[in-house]
């Protein structure tokens, strides 16, 4: 499946799908408390999803809006079998298009910082760089031993 074969759409809440997708990539989601928070967030946050032709959810993005000019990608999770096939990129692209149409100027995402040796999150950071995000700051927002990298992307037409 290529990116041209599917599109991301804004959807109603998908907590069960978020739980299923998180379970498909446990190396990224190894903290049960955080996973439960993501599942609960999926009940109320702006939700975007990519589905295949059989209506199977391949990936989900949850969006948080702190200000009218800024959106945060709270969660982006793609089914393991779909990694590298454009699902995540399509989610980011659709969210960006909608945000631009609403006057949003800035997107941010938080991920595990590079001072942590996790190779999976190295791939995550490279993905976000590939879709236009830049590292802005690594902080101890999540506590000692869990560096938080804040990445940002300026939106323009």
- pLDDT at position 131 is 96
| Percent of the chain surpassing pLDDT 90 | 78
CATH number at residue 126: 3.40.630.30
Q: How far is Cα 111 from Cα 121, in angstroms, rounded to an integer?
A: 8
- Count of domains forming the chain: 1
Residue 26 and residue 46 in contact, taking contact as beta carbons nearer than 8 Å: no
Whether pLDDT at 36 is above 80? yes
Question: Across residues 24-44, what is the average pLDDT?
Answer: 89
C-alpha dihedral (18, 125, 109, 116), degrees to nearest 10:
90
Coil/strand/helix, residue 121: helix
Q: List pLDDT tens digits, range 101-117.
A: 999 999 999 999 999 87
- pLDDT at position 2 is 45
DSSP string, 49-75: EEE-TT--EEEEEEEEEEETTEEEEEE
Model confidence, pTM: 0.91
Element (H, E) at 87: helix 87-101
Domain that holds residue 113: 3-154
Q: How far is Cα 26 from Cα 87, in angstroms, rounded to an integer?
A: 18
Among 31, 119, 156, 21, residue whose Cα is nearest residue 75: 21
Q: How far is Cα 56 from Cα 100, in angstroms, rounded to an integer?
A: 28
Confidence band, pLDDT 50/70/90 cuts, at residue 73: very high
Q: List pLDDT tens digits, range 43-68.
A: 999 999 999 999 999 999 999 999 99
Residue 39 and residue 11 in contact, taking contact as beta carbons nearer than 8 Å: no
């Amino acid at each position: 499946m290529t990116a041209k074969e599917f599109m991301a759409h804004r959807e109603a809440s998908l907590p069960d799908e978020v739980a299923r997708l998180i379970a498909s990539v446990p190396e990224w989601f190894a903290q049960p408390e955080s996973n439960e928070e993501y599942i609960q967030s999926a009940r109320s946050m702006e939700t975007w999803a990519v589905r295949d032709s059989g209506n199977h959810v391949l990936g989900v993005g949850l969006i948080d809006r702190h200000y009218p000019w800024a959106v945060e990608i709270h969660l982006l999770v793609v089914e393991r079998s779909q990694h590298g096939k454009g699902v995540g990129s399509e989610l980011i692209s659709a969210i960006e298009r909608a945000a631009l149409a609403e006057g949003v100027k800035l997107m941010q995402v938080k991920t595990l910082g590079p001072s942590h040796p996790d190779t999976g999150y190295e791939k995550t950071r490279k993905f976000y760089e590939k879709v236009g995000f830049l590292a802005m700051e690594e902080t101890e927002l999540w506590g000692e031993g869990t560096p938080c990298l804040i990445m940002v992307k300026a939106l323009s037409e």
